[in-house]
Amino acid sequence: MKILKFGAAWCNECLVMRPMWDEIEKTFPELITEYYEADDNEELLKKYKIEDIPSFIFLDGDDNEVSRLQGVQNKDGLESKVREFLDK
């Protein structure tokens, strides 16, 4: 299970999310995340049909999308989603 995170250095919402993800990744060390800079990964944006950033794609063990979040999330809601994701 892993989460793909799409953002950009110029994106204010992405900058807001970065410290939240840092805390969540420390809380859940078993969580696998990969960050992709939107401006440098056009093929992945097309593959996952990313229209807005920040976007977070939750993938199962076979790399199939099981959930998606877009935009700024609150930390409690994001932690809850991660817990739910890891419990599957």
What is the residue-averaged pLDDT of the chain? 94
Active-site annotation holds for 13: no
Please report which residue ranges of 2-74 form alpha helices under DSSP H.
Answer: 12-27, 42-47
Give the whole-angstrom CA distance, residue 30 versus residue 80: 15
Region 35-48: mean pLDDT is 96
Q: What digits encode the pLDDT tens for the residues 55-70?
A: 999 999 999 999 999 9
Q: 12 is in which domain, residue-wise? A: 2-86
CATH number, domain containing residue 40:
3.40.30.10
* Catalytic residue of the set 3, 6, 7, 14: 14
* Catalytic residue of the set 3, 11, 24, 50: 11
**Predicted pLDDT at 32:** 95
Task: Decide: 7 and 17 in contact? Cβ < 8 Å.
Answer: yes
Q: Based on the structure, what is the number of domains in the chain? A: 1
Copy the structure tokens of residue 84.
């739910």
Inform me whether the pLDDT recorded for 88 exceeds 80. Answer: no
Active-site annotation holds for 21: no
